[in-house]
Structure 1
Amino acid sequence: MTPITTTADLAAFCNQLKGQPFVAVDTEFMRETTYWPMLCLIQAAAPNGAEACIDPLAPGIDLSPFLDVLRDTSIQKVFHAARQDVEIFNNLGAMPRPLFDTQIAGMAAGFGEQIAYDALVRQMLKIDLDKSSRFTDWSRRPLSDNQLTYAIADVTHLARLYPVLRGSLEKAGRLAWVEEEMEALIDPELYDVNPENAWKRLRPRKHSAKYMAVFKAVAAWRERTAQTRDQPRGRILKDDAIDELAAQAPTDAAAMDRLRGVPKGFSGSKFGPDLMAAIKEALRDPEAYAPVVEREKTNHNPAAGAVVELLKVLLKARAEDAGVASKLIATVSDLEKIANDDNADVGALTGWRKDAFGTDALKLKRGELALVLDGTRVRVVEVRRAPKQAAAE
């Protein structure tokens, strides 16, 4: 297969995608040494047989025709493990809507948590994929025949897999479960790269105005520097160093160099003066600069830890009963919140998740359900209370 390398050929291919019910999409990219992902190849296939590899590194090529396809809300965009692909296209101004992620769909269909693409194809289509070219250098040109064959196969099989998987979910009444997850996946806030919001991806350990002001300032400085230099955040400054800088709030080179989390001699490096200036600016008026952080309300129930462990067992049992990955129903964080608050603001207590697990989780907390080991399987049984006990309560 010869990849598309001109805007004219790309426009002609995209014309073949117009009017199609869906298009399967995949990308090959590299970002090990960069902040911004380097898009090296785009693969696309539609049910009418149109399929192609698009070379975004070809001199002079304009990706606009394909980006318009991604923006076309009449065409379903199908990915597997879509988050990083969505990030790339969102950066290009083309959030793919509507979206269908076959990895998440596989979780709802009972194929386990975060099932790999080749495993899903093997189980659903009975095809073994050759993944030998997966970790090759996709930025080098020309691409080999093996690379292109591997790349196009991903979307060819994805286009076959999608209708089968979607049909299975529709039959089971679970398509709405996946659509709810898709809305979260295309939330622009998930891909926000505004430096002033960088602190939100981290976990501050304190909440005082002085700490949070410096925490926000250092996180923003690191984000801007990483973007400008196109380097990974961690190569500029580690997360632990941000917390230590916020806690100590150094205002001179000697104080900064005494910090364990900051690289030796950092204050005298090309980064030092700018970082110091950012800290001093935040300290000019910490109350005004510090973000407002709403702390989660907990009742610090001493038995909450034990309740969480019981909820984990219940979640596993109910997930097995429903034939769905437990991660799709609730996270450990959700369980911790439920253990402390019957009205916790978590997805596990709303919608289909409440039906599958949440209602029983609250019953378990009230002692209305019990977990019984039946051989190697956990059963959930109702607890019948004695009349006198029930009346007393």
Structure 2
Amino acid sequence: MSVITKNDQLIALCERLSQAEYITVDTEFLRDKTYWSKLCLIQVASEEEYHAIDPLAEDIDLAPFYDLLANEKVLKVFHAARQDIEIFVKEAGVVPKPLFDSQVAAMVCGFGDNIGYDKLVSNLTGQTLDKSSRFTDWSRRPLTQRQIEYALGDVTHLRIIYKKLRDKLEQSGRTSWLDEEMAELLNHETYITRPEDAWKRIKMRNNNRRFHAIVRKLAQWREQEAQRRNIPRNRIMRDEVLLEVAAIRPQHANSLNGIRGLPPQFGTTKPGQAVLKVVKEALDMPEDQLPTIPRPRPPAQNIDPVMELLKVLLKLKCQKEGVAAKLVATMDDLEKLAQDDKADIPALHGWRYELFGKEALDLKNGRIGFAMKDGEITVFALDEERS
């Protein structure tokens, strides 16, 4: 075990790891006061060795490590990889390939929805993680021996977890299921935050098109400001304040100054003037350029009973097959399916269709039903039952 702080050490390590069948990878980072994550430590292990890499060290260039991540001859194993990969994409434009996410693999193997790493370690290795350094400030130097040991535990235990999950997937014939799930994580676009799409994360209950135009432009401005200043977007303006601004449609400084949640005299500040400009741009938009608001589909009659039946079927199938229900279909998916046999949901495609979607449609259309047998709910074909 060592902490890599010199470039020649890192080059030698990455040359050795490039010969490995797989490596396990984790990071420690800070993001509570910034928009972009600050990478503070990288942990990596192969079957033979494990090390921490200090990206804050003066004599370090992470290029050899990023080359290793891009090396398609070496499998990269993470747990809950999305945030780690987001950092690598921001820093070097690299998405690790090929990829194995143990959290997703655990869901495919029936360990529940979004299982935490400590619980997975306990289930598959019988060991208990030391949580004492979980909320440490990873940017402070020097790191203590206890911090380093804590961080390295995330990649040493992951070696055992990977092999056990890999074997389970192979034995159950579900390796292709995981490959299908990795497609989104391997897509570079997954990690790109586009300011023009920032409005999509805001919950709006107002269907006025002009209101939507203002919200979209304000959300784009806020995202650009947050990225430029590298501070959390809510430090620029909270969602509820942004919605209030869109509702009031302020056209001068005094209108902004009266909005709760904004600093005193905000309307006279540079950000305040920028907000007024954004609002004016939205107010000046021609009617034919305003956002189109899709009308919500009227709820189908008796949708609640259909939803309840689909929930029962989903639980039965996932328990029988040993796969996390959330991975197969969400409650939103079930609602769409209850209303539309051709809903555009994952459950009606690929392995999910074979496991659940096909029988879900049979249930909706009266081809199968439920019955109690020996104290358990069973599924049976209605036509066969009548005959």
**TM-score (norm. length: structure 1):** 0.90
1:133-161 deviation digits (Å, cap 9, x = unpaired): 22211111110001111111211121232
1:285-309 deviation digits (Å, cap 9, x = unpaired): 255765566x377352022233222
Q: Report what 1:253 is aligned to.
A: 253
Answer yes or no: is 1:279 the counterpart of 2:279: yes
Against the structure 1 CA distance between its residues 284 and 324, is the aligned structure 2 distance closer, same or farther, given a 3 Å change threshold?
same
**TM-score (norm. length: structure 2):** 0.92
CA deviation after TM superposition for structure 1 residue 207, in Å: 5.1
Aligned partners of 1:257 and 1:264 also within 8 Å? yes
Please give the alpha-carbon distance, in whole angstroms, between the structure 2 residues aligned to 1:302 and 1:186: 40
CA deviation after TM superposition for structure 1 residue 246, in Å: 3.0
Please give the alpha-carbon distance, in whole angstroms, between the structure 2 residues aligned to 1:174 and 1:296: 39
Answer yes or no: is 1:357 the counterpart of 2:356: yes
Aligned partners of 1:282 and 1:289 also within 8 Å? no
1:67-102 deviation digits (Å, cap 9, x = unpaired): 111112222111001111111111111111221110
Alignment of 1:133-282 (within 5 A): 133-206=133-206, 208-260=208-260, 265-282=265-282
Aligned partners of 2:366 and 2:382 also within 8 Å? yes
CA deviation after TM superposition for structure 1 residue 205, in Å: 3.5
Q: Report what 1:63 is aligned to.
A: 62
Q: Secondary structure at the match of 1:193?
A: coil
Against the structure 1 CA distance between its residues 373 and 230, is the aligned structure 2 distance closer, same or farther, given a 3 Å change threshold?
farther
Answer yes or no: is 1:43 the counterpart of 2:43: yes
Number of residue pairs aligned between Structure 1 and Structure 2? 386
Q: Report what 1:112 is aligned to.
A: 112
Against the structure 1 CA distance between its residues 190 and 288, is the aligned structure 2 distance closer, same or farther, given a 3 Å change threshold?
farther
**Larger deviation, residues 162-171 vs 22-31:** 162-171
Q: Report what 2:131 is aligned to.
A: 131
Answer yes or no: is 1:15 the counterpart of 2:12: no
Please give the alpha-carbon distance, in whole angstroms, between the structure 2 residues aligned to 1:166 and 1:386: 41
Please give the alpha-carbon distance, in whole angstroms, between the structure 2 residues aligned to 1:45 and 1:209: 53
Against the structure 1 CA distance between its residues 132 and 378, is the aligned structure 2 distance closer, same or farther, given a 3 Å change threshold?
farther
CA deviation after TM superposition for structure 1 residue 324, in Å: 0.6
Q: Secondary structure at the match of 1:24?
A: strand
Against the structure 1 CA distance between its residues 65 and 253, is the aligned structure 2 distance closer, same or farther, given a 3 Å change threshold?
same
Aligned partners of 1:241 and 1:262 also within 8 Å? yes
Q: Report what 2:86 is aligned to.
A: 87
**Larger deviation, residues 119-128 vs 321-330:** 119-128
Aligned partners of 2:255 and 2:267 also within 8 Å? no
Against the structure 1 CA distance between its residues 385 and 299, is the aligned structure 2 distance closer, same or farther, given a 3 Å change threshold?
farther
Q: Secondary structure at the match of 2:24?
A: strand
**Larger deviation, residues 179-188 vs 84-93:** 179-188
Q: CA RMSD in A?
A: 2.4
Against the structure 1 CA distance between its residues 285 and 69, is the aligned structure 2 distance closer, same or farther, given a 3 Å change threshold?
same
Alignment of 1:269-308 (within 5 A): 269-286=269-286, 290=290, 295=294, 298-308=297-307
Please give the alpha-carbon distance, in whole angstroms, between the structure 1 residues aligned to 2:136 and 2:367: 55
Q: Report what 1:6 is aligned to.
A: 6
Please give the alpha-carbon distance, in whole angstroms, between the structure 2 residues aligned to 1:237 and 1:140: 29
Against the structure 1 CA distance between its residues 130 and 44, is the aligned structure 2 distance closer, same or farther, given a 3 Å change threshold?
same
Amino acid at match of 1:337: K
Structure 2 stretches lacking a partner, 5+ long: none
Against the structure 1 CA distance between its residues 366 and 379, is the aligned structure 2 distance closer, same or farther, given a 3 Å change threshold?
same
Against the structure 1 CA distance between its residues 329 and 5, is the aligned structure 2 distance closer, same or farther, given a 3 Å change threshold?
same
Against the structure 1 CA distance between its residues 150 and 309, is the aligned structure 2 distance closer, same or farther, given a 3 Å change threshold?
same
Amino acid at match of 2:19: G
1:363-382 deviation digits (Å, cap 9, x = unpaired): 22122333345687543333
Please give the alpha-carbon distance, in whole angstroms, between the structure 1 residues aligned to 2:9 and 2:180: 36
Against the structure 1 CA distance between its residues 205 and 185, is the aligned structure 2 distance closer, same or farther, given a 3 Å change threshold?
farther
1:4-34 deviation digits (Å, cap 9, x = unpaired): 1122211111001113221110001111111
Aligned partners of 2:299 and 2:339 also within 8 Å? yes
Against the structure 1 CA distance between its residues 170 and 139, is the aligned structure 2 distance closer, same or farther, given a 3 Å change threshold?
same
Q: Secondary structure at the match of 1:25?
A: strand
Please give the alpha-carbon distance, in whole angstroms, between the structure 1 residues aligned to 2:374 and 2:101: 36
Please give the alpha-carbon distance, in whole angstroms, between the structure 1 residues aligned to 2:220 and 2:9: 41
1:98-144 deviation digits (Å, cap 9, x = unpaired): 21110110011111111121221222222222222222111111100
Please give the alpha-carbon distance, in whole angstroms, between the structure 1 residues aligned to 2:99 and 2:299: 40
Please give the alpha-carbon distance, in whole angstroms, between the structure 2 residues aligned to 1:201 and 1:304: 27
Q: Report what 1:312 is aligned to.
A: 311
Structure 1 stretches lacking a partner, 5+ long: none
Amino acid at match of 2:159: A
1:240-259 deviation digits (Å, cap 9, x = unpaired): 23333334432223333444
